[in-house]
Amino acid sequence: MFDPVIAALYERDETSRSLGLVLAEASVGRAVMRMTVAPTMVNGHGTAHGGFLFLLADAAFAYACNSHGPVTVAQAAQVVFLAPAAVGDELVAEAVERSRAGRTGIYDVTVRRPADDRVIAEFRGQSVVVGGRPQNGG
């Protein structure tokens, strides 16, 4: 089971849940999200739209950087798309904390297709603490 703060954050994350993003793992400085590419997530070329790949990586980043407790948001992020994904592909985004100093942090997220272990995208996010510990929803 997840930390109550992370569990409550996921419960309030209507965007991720409505699009089928699943929080698979979360621990201090790390999170894993899963998503299956739906027909509504592809672009005109028939491949996963970059916005959905970014969303998956960004969600994993959000849970990893909020795992320390204080309310934390992205202050910058970039993504590099390395390979296409197709309808039906299950994708896994693993976020790992690289550095935390003061109110800022740096997190790397790798998006993979487990079926062939292909790296689909690499994402780097910079976080900033903006407030105290969030309510756990209870």
| Each residue's pLDDT tens digit, 5-39 | 899 999 999 999 999 999 999 999 999 999 999 99
Range of the domain at 63: 4-129
Contact criterion met (CB below 8 Å) for 22 and 68: no
Residue 54 lies in a domain: yes
- φ, ψ of residue 43 to 5 degrees: the values are -95, -170
As for how many domains the chain has, the answer is 1
Predicted TM-score (pTM) of the model is 0.92
pLDDT of amino acid 35: 98
CATH code where residue 62 lies: 3.10.129.10
pLDDT of amino acid 134: 57
Residue 48 lies in a domain: yes
pLDDT tens-place string over residues 59-116: 999 999 999 888 999 999 999 999 999 999 999 999 999 999 999 999 999 999 999 9
Residue 88 lies in a domain: yes
pLDDT of amino acid 70: 86
Residue 8 lies in a domain: yes
